Chain A
Amino acid sequence: MGKNHNTQTGQLTYSGWGRYPKQEASLVEPSSRDEFATCLAMSDPREQKTIARGAGRSYGDSALSEILLSTRYLDNFSSLETSESGHSTLRCAAGLSLAQILETIVPKGLFLPVLPGAKAVTVGGAIASDIHGKNHHIDGSFCDHVDSLRLLLASGEVVDCSRSHHSELFHATCGGIGLTGIVLDASICLTPLSSLAITQSSLIASNLEECMELMEQHLKAKYSVAWIDCLAKGAAKGRSVLYLGEHLPASENNARSKPQALKRRSEINIPFNAPSMLLNRYSMAAFNSSYYALKKSLPATAKIDYDKFFFPLERLRNWNRLYGAKGFLQYQLVLPLATAREGLHAILERVARAGKGSFLSVLKRFGKGNSNLLSFPIEGYTLAMDFKVEDSLFPLLDELDALVLAHGGRLYLTKDARMSAEFFRQTYPEWERFAELKAKCDPDQKFSSLQSRRLGLTR
């Protein structure tokens, strides 16, 4: 979480994980549920807007506003129950991070059904973003495994929401980027974990066509995600390494990989902002080429522990500093199956021509979407690219927007810091229903972020 002290106003400057944009705000850390209600009652929405903030791991401005209500002290587990049929359900508070949950449930032989690339995200954030993981094509997104949640509304009322109870509010809150209220706690269905180890196979694809074909062939693989070189041109355009993963079955377990607490991995901290000059088209192209060459030369299958498989970047603490002081934008789009091939070609072409791009661009096959109003996934392909912030980036992204729109796709709100209200409305058809519900459950518009104002969802 980016923060800097401003001694003049007594406020701090906050930003999302991308460190762009930055906003002066007051961070309040209520230590109990009652204190949350008091904070809400005391705030005057005509003067200052409020938004909940968890780990600060959404990339853009969706958790930025004048008052940030931190969920840091909503960090307790309530219950862990296993039904007769063997289904385990965890009830816990919204401020717990997925890493903290894993620490507790993995030794009991249980696992989270959906994991993103960052384990620092909180349950509240995971719900507000309806996050997805490498198994979306099989298991859907995080909220598909949330049975119910308790929501603190702007009025101070606490509502239990589920698919059968206040279902409209439930489907608006799941993926609703924090605009319906503050998620206090949630019930999450867990999956059994046979082993700590994941069998990972890496397949080399020399271009985009090959990569997409491989993904279609391996739709049954539990986990699948591809690293893609978005700077390669010509015949090599879209060359990639597809990673497939399966949990190691219990029968092949050796003692070391039986579910138990993992040792803390040593971390490498990026202590300060890298000079952004270091990231240019030549260094990026060189990095991507060597990464591709390295992966090509390594053995195609390996047994690795889940932490390494799911969170390869988490070992680099504060890796967002690598993009320099101005920060970076992650542009994550999804295109429907029918237009994905054509659309991805056009987009990669444009990005390679501009020579902008990043260390790690990621391509993933999504399964079917769900009925949450603002959830991102639709069946098709999602591509995520990091770009360091510079003036010449914004016109490029506008061009990419046009391509995404033309191919019937959309952008992930959790990564967004710049899409226009018009583009949002064109690509999220349920926005009107969301806005109606928002007017009902938060008439004074207490909950409002920089993003929701930009998108025209709130004042």
Chain B
Amino acid sequence: MKILIIGANSAIATAVARQYAQRGDQLFLVGRDASRITTLSADLTVRGATAVSQEILDLADTHRHNALVEKAFEQMGCIDLALICHGTLPQQEDCERDFDALLEGLKVNTLSTLSLLTELGNRFEQQGSGKIAVITSVAGDRGRRSNYAYGASKAMVSTYLQGFRGRMHAHGVDVIDIRPGLVDSPMTSEIKKGLLFSSPDRVARCVVKGIERRRTTLYAPGYWRFIMLVVRLIPDSLFKRLKF
């Protein structure tokens, strides 16, 4: 398979890329940190990737997305899977006090993703096949008091994907919304880890399997579907009193 991974340095993306590399796939990596992308490229080559290309880019810079997608298509000829993984976890308290902090989170998590989806959507329409998968979050399922800034930034992407999926379906392209639960990764290094945390490897195995089975909305690991169902069912009158 020919796979474009955007935000390849994220823990989940790295773990997913390693699984594809082991199968001998061809990868095109996009990330901001040049030295880490280079390290990852070498790693994936040893693990068995047939070819690895890389592009260093700050994804918040949406003006460069068009050229990026063009280049990926040019390099690989076609793209079987585009996986958007980049993201940030803004501090909730900062976002409450300072709109700029919230805006920064929205730029990275939401606006840049929608910009990429616009570019990818147009190209995949022409291609008439392939899959587009986006890592959102269970946090987008319902805004919680402790984390609604991040949740809102992901919810917008999920909502966008619901309609985008219909548009792409008509052109033979699958759109997959991947919602990981709590992941034990550098992004959550400040948070105490409980039983519900999964390793990036575990999440990656779910992601690879879910994409293969052409799921539409994929909770990773799967039990998060039930957890979030319960969270969504709590009536607002009670929910507004909860601190989590």
Contact = CB atoms under 8 A, between A and B. Distances in A.
Interface of A: 5, 10, 29, 31-32, 73, 76-80, 90, 92, 103-104, 107-108, 261
Contacts of A73: 186
Contacts of A108: 48
B1 interface: no
Contact of B46 (A5, A29, A32, A78): A78
Contact of B186 (A29, A78, A92): A29
Given A73-B186, A92-B46, 11 more contacts: A5-B192, A29-B186, A29-B189, A76-B39, A77-B43, A77-B46, A103-B22, A104-B22, A104-B46, A107-B48, A261-B22
Contacts of B40: 76
B27 to A, nearest CB: 14
Interface in B83-117: none
B47 interface: yes
A286 B50 CA distance: 54
B202 interface: no
Given A5-B192, A103-B22, A107-B48, A76 B186 contact: no
B232 interface: no
Contacts of B48: 104, 107-108
A213 to B, nearest CB: 45
Nearest to A104: B47
Contacts of A5: 192
A31 B43 contact: no
Contacts of B231: none
Given A103-B22, A104-B22, A104-B48, A79 B189 contact: no
Binding site secondary structure of chain B? helix
Interface of B: 22, 36, 39-40, 42-43, 46-48, 186, 189, 192
B188 to A, nearest CB: 10
B186 A80 contact: no
Given A5-B192, A32-B36, A103-B22, A77 B47 contact: yes
A104 B21 CA distance: 10
B22 A77 contact: no
B22 A80 contact: no
A10 B39 CA distance: 34
Contacts of B22: 103-104, 261
Given A29-B189, A104-B22, A78 B36 contact: no
A47 B48 CA distance: 45
Nearest to B40: A76
B189 A80 contact: no
Contacts of B39: 76, 78
30 contacts: A5-B192, A10-B192, A29-B186, A29-B189, A31-B186, A32-B36, A73-B186, A76-B40, A76-B42, A76-B43, A77-B42, A77-B43, A77-B46, A77-B47, A78-B39, A78-B42, A78-B43, A78-B46, A79-B42, A79-B46, A80-B46, A90-B46, A92-B46, A103-B22, A104-B46, A104-B47, A104-B48, A107-B48, A108-B48, A261-B22
Contacts of B186: 29, 31, 73
A197 B29 CA distance: 37
Contacts of B36: 32
Contacts of A92: 46
